[in-house]
């Protein structure tokens, strides 16, 4: 795959996008919705893709709500989605915690309640936004928000200096809301890592395990699958590094400047999920 950046709206030279790919992975926030309101044409585009028989999975680093709430929010926005087709960072984090910290204590810092999803880990969970704990085996970061204040971040730092390990559901620096671009976990994670000397284990995109989880059970080779996202690093380059095709849409958090950053070029930069679906051979309107 090419290493140069790409011009807006063009397929990379020499790249032939698969038509009606055997599997399609979609980011949610910024691709289908912004602040859980559907983007123009997204509902119809997804319906067209699914009507063509293409298996679709939804990969999201969203940590502001549990998976069941993500599915409900998508239903409310008009999308046809089943819970088993949604792969969230909290669900993947629960699996990691269960494997590596069985029976331990996890100190959670997250804007949004994902305790139901993390309960599958079997660990004792302590919410650092509400209480303190003298010792934890692991500090777990979810999505950032007002809860990431000075006092709470210092609680996390104290635990890390006391030999707790650090797990983050993602390393995203920003996310898009209806009020604009806002700071996300990665901005605070970098400070905690530097201050404590503890390097975090990252669970969500762009880690390869997240894309493997998305394709789990489909029986589709990675090079027959396509990922569509609004984040050039977490969605597109992460997918490409895992062997998938990567398409970047200009909705959500997209800014033209990201095309000048070092790394793999998206195979296609396009306006939206609607034009991305058309480029993949689906008969969509818009």
Residue 6 has pLDDT above 60, yes or no: no
φ/ψ of 24, rounded to 5, equals -130, 125
Q: Mind listing the pLDDT tens digit for each residue in 168-212?
A: 999 888 877 778 888 999 999 999 999 999 999 999 999 988 998
Q: Give how far the C-alpha of residue 38 lies from the chain's centroid of Cα atoms, to the nearest Å.
A: 18
pTM value is 0.79
Domains 1-58+207-286 and 90-202 share a fold: yes
Residue spans of the domains in the chain: they are 1-58+207-286, 90-202
Q: Per residue in 75-126, pLDDT tens?
A: 999 999 999 999 999 998 998 999 999 999 999 999 988 999 999 999 999 9
Tokens (6 digits) for 217: 């059970």
Q: Classify the C-alpha dihedral 213-182-112-40 as positive or negative.
A: negative
Task: Write out the CATH class of domain 1-58+207-286.
Answer: alpha beta
**What is the phi/psi pair of residue 50, to 5°?**
-70, -35
> What is the assigned CATH class of domain 90-202?
alpha beta
């Amino acid at each position: 795959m090419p290493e140069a950046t790409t011009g807006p709206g063009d397929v990379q030279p020499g790249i032939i996008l698969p038509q009606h790919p055997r599997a399609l992975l979609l980011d949610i926030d910024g691709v289908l919705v912004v602040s859980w309101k559907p983007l123009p044409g997204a509902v119809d585009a997804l319906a067209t893709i699914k009507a063509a028989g293409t298996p679709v999975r939804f990969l999201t680093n969203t940590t502001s709500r549990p998976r069941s709430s993500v599915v409900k929010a998508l239903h409310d926005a008009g999308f046809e989605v089943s819970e088993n087709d949604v792969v969230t960072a909290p669900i993947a984090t629960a699996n990691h915690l269960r494997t590596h910290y069985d029976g331990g204590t996890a100190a959670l810092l997250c804007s949004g309640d994902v305790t139901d999803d993390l309960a599958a880990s079997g660990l004792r969970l302590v919410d650092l936004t509400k209480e303190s704990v003298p010792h934890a085996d692991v500090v777990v970061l979810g999505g950032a928000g007002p809860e990431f204040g000075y006092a709470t971040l210092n609680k996390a730092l104290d635990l890390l200096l006391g030999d707790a390990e650090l797990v983050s559901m993602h390393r995203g620096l920003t996310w898009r809301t209806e009020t604009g671009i806002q700071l996300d976990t990665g901005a605070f994670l970098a400070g905690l890592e530097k201050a404590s000397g503890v390097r975090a284990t990252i669970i969500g995109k762009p880690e390869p395990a997240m894309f493997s989880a998305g394709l789990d059970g489909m029986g589709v080779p990675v090079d027959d699958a396509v990922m569509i996202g609004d984040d050039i690093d977490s969605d597109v380059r992460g997918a490409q590094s895992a062997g998938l095709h990567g398409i970047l849409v200009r909705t959500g958090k997209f800014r033209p400047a990201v095309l000048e950053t070092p790394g793999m070029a998206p195979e296609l930069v396009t306006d939206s999920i609607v034009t991305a679906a058309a480029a993949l051979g689906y008969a969509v309107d818009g």
